[in-house]
Amino acid sequence: MNDDQQRGLARSREDREAEDQRELNVEEISAIVVDCAFHLHVDLGPGLLESVYEAVLARILAERGLRVERQKAVVFEYQGIRFDDGLRVDLLVNDCLIIELKSVEALKPLHSKQLLTYLRLLQMPLGLLINFGAPTFKEGCKRLVNNHQNFASSRLRAREKTGGARSREDREAGGLS
């Protein structure tokens, strides 16, 4: 290998390290998580225990350079009573994204409420509810927000109003946007 090639390898390694050091926002992190979880669902399919998906997803995310905490205790206080170990979050990624995993045939409303409670107690903007028991990943992945404002970089938006576009609800109600 000549000197130019070695310098090129060193420069690309430095670029990768600089990218790893850049702090990702919650939208970028959620995009990485969704990508990894999708491939995990495709590769392993439904039917395994939640703990298996949790362990594998945590490892994959860590290999992608994210900080992952498993079974993170949620500490909260209510009416002067402190609960140090009252709740546990399946995965906490980069201290800003909660991932609640399930491996059930169908999600129930309680599962979304559980994640929303975690988001409120931890004052976090975004969480992902991922059910590996669903027949397809699309059916099993839900994005829940808690006072989240920065949607600019999200590739997961379902609807965005731009220009003179109106939502179906606005059109049916005859309202103007």
Domain count within the chain: 1
- Residue reference for tokens 């992608």: 64
87-138 pLDDT, tens digit each: 899 999 999 999 999 999 999 999 999 999 999 998 999 999 999 999 999 9
Tokens describing residue 125: 């903007």
Is 33 part of any domain? yes
Assigned domain for 94 exists: yes
Q: Is residue 52 included in any domain, yes or no?
A: yes
Determine which of 78-82, 133-137, 149-153 has the lowest per-residue pLDDT on average.
Answer: 149-153
How much is the pLDDT for 85?
A: 84
> Considering the domain boundaries, does residue 170 fall inside one?
no
The per-residue pLDDT for range 15-67, each reduced to its tens digit, is: 545 455 468 999 999 999 999 999 999 999 999 999 999 999 999 999 999 99
1 lies in a domain?
no
The amino acid that residue 25 corresponds to is N
pLDDT grade for 173, boundaries at 50, 70 and 90: very low
Instruction: Tell me if 63 sits within 8 A of 36, measured CB to CB.
Output: no
Q: Tell me which residue range forms the domain holding 111.
A: 21-150
Checking if the pLDDT of 169 tops 50, the result is no
* SS3 assignment, position 175: coil
Q: Do 32 and 57 touch, CB atoms closer than 8 A?
A: no
Residue 86 placed within a domain: yes
The reply to whether 167 falls in a domain is no
